Homo-oligomer: A and B are copies of this chain.
Amino acid sequence: MGLEAEPLAAPHPYWPRDLEIGRYVPNDRPTWHSLAFLFSVSAALLALTWRAAGWRGWMGAPMRPGRRLALCWFAICGFIHGVIEGWFSLYHMDIPGDQSFLSQLWKEYAKGDSRYVIEDNFTVCMETITAWAWGPLSLWTVVAFLQRQPHRYVLQLVVSLGQLYGDVLYFYTEYREGFAHSEMWHPLYFWFYFVFMNALWIIIPSILLLDAWGHLSAAQRALDSVKAKRH
Contact = CB atoms under 8 A, between A and B. Distances in A.
Chain B CB count within 10 A is highest, among A126, A129, A216, A217, for: A216
Q: In the assembly, how many copies of this chain are there?
A: 2
Contacts of A212: 154
Contacts of A215: 220
Interface string A67-102: 000000000000000000000000000000000000
Given A125-B172, A165-B165, A150 B226 contact: no
A61 B223 CA distance: 14
Contact of A176 (B125, B161, B172): B125
Interface in A141-179: 148, 150-154, 157-158, 161-162, 165-166, 168-169, 172-173, 176-177
Interface residues of A, number: 42
A223 to B, nearest CB: 4
B220 A153 contact: yes
